[in-house]
Amino acid sequence: MKPDTVTVALTGASGLPYGLRLIDCLLAAGVRVWVLYSQAAQVVAQQEMHLTLPSRPAELQQWLAARYQPADGQLRVFGREEWFAPPASGSNPADAMVICPCSMGTLAAVAQGMSDNLIERAADVTIKEGRKLVLVPRETPLSAIHLENMLKLARLGVCILPPSPGFYTHPQSVDDMVDFVVARILDQLRVPQQLLPRWGEERA
């Protein structure tokens, strides 16, 4: 069943195009989206996409709304210290959460149950409430510390989904490679998508 609400967290790992494209696709599918973001994500946005993301949540919400044209009430953005935000409590969790991209620091904090900011707290809530949590970690090579943290989370039912685009679809652009990864995330969330053909199917 398609989720009604998905929390999307943007952190300081490389791969912000994946996160923004995911927000775009979720909104287009009619899903309500709660966006969380770190200061490091703003730095990455400038470095990778030449985008200046506003520092204030209300301004970022306006920026995203102008970019993706969501329905009224479909998109909300919360600050990293906004402890009264819905995703901070198990009494009002989203149906699922995706941290995309997910830095190794954020992954480690989630693995240790840290809740020093809203992203970490929302992930902790998602795990304890038995909701779907997808982490999109972007790092290479991976150390034993990284792998141990991922294994610990995987054993708790967390989906570890590295952004590793396949080439069997014959991508023609960077956007095609981004869509490959976003399609895999949407599949995990059970959100219908037509970003690329299924294995054994022809592209329309």
Cβ-based burial of 116 (10 A; exposed 0-12, middle 13-18, buried ≥19) = exposed
Peptide bond into 101 cis (omega under 30): yes
Residue 143 annotated as part of some ligand binding site:
no
Amino acid at 180: F
Residue 14 annotated as part of some ligand binding site:
yes
Residue 13 annotated as part of some ligand binding site:
yes
Residue 68 annotated as part of some ligand binding site:
no
Residue 190 annotated as part of some ligand binding site:
no
Residue 90 annotated as part of some ligand binding site:
no
6 contact partners, CB below 8 Å, separation of at least 6: 26, 31, 32, 33, 34, 94, 95, 96, 97, 98, 189, 191
Residue 115 annotated as part of some ligand binding site:
no
| Closest by CA position to 96, among listed 12, 193, 4 | 4
Residue 150 annotated as part of some ligand binding site:
no
Residue 105 annotated as part of some ligand binding site:
yes
Q: Binding site: residue ranges? A: 12-14, 38, 103-106, 138, 168, 184
Q: Binding site for FMN: residue ranges? A: 12-14, 38, 103-106, 138
Q: Binding site for dimethylallyl phosphate: residue ranges? A: 168, 184
